[in-house]
């Protein structure tokens, strides 16, 4: 027996979770799966981690959620593009940890 609750979708999951870890394969159908719409549903002060593929995340939407304080922080093992260009705002943020894939 597993003590788990099914949710209706990604937005509901984001609204209930303290930590969300993206671990899905990339495909044309799920490009920018984590969008402004999804990040805006995130639980206040939650943490987002991407260990799968950079194109799954709309990095502008992630950046906006971090800047607004909706997300407390992010851990990124991958980005799009990879590597991020010098001076990219995500590289300047104290609440973002970037690691090489």
How many angstroms separate the CA atoms of 55 and 30, rounded? 8
How many angstroms separate the CA atoms of 81 and 43, rounded? 27
Handedness of CA 82, 86, 90, 94 (dihedral sign): positive
Active site residue 59: no
Q: 10 Å Cβ neighbour count for 31? A: 14
Q: Which two tokens stand for residue 42?
A: 């995130």
> What are the residue numbers of the active site?
101
């Amino acid at each position: 027996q597993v003590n788990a609750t099914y949710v209706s979708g990604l937005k509901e999951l984001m609204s209930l979770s303290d930590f969300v870890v993206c671990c899905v394969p990339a495909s044309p159908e799920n490009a920018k799966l984590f969008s402004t719409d999804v990040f805006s549903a995130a639980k206040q002060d939650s943490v987002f981690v991407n260990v799968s593929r950079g194109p799954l995340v709309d990095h502008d939407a992630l950046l906006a959620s971090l800047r607004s304080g909706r997300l407390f922080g992010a851990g990124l093992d991958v980005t799009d593009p990879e590597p991020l260009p010098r001076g990219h705002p995500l590289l300047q943020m104290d609440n973002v940890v970037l690691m090489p894939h």
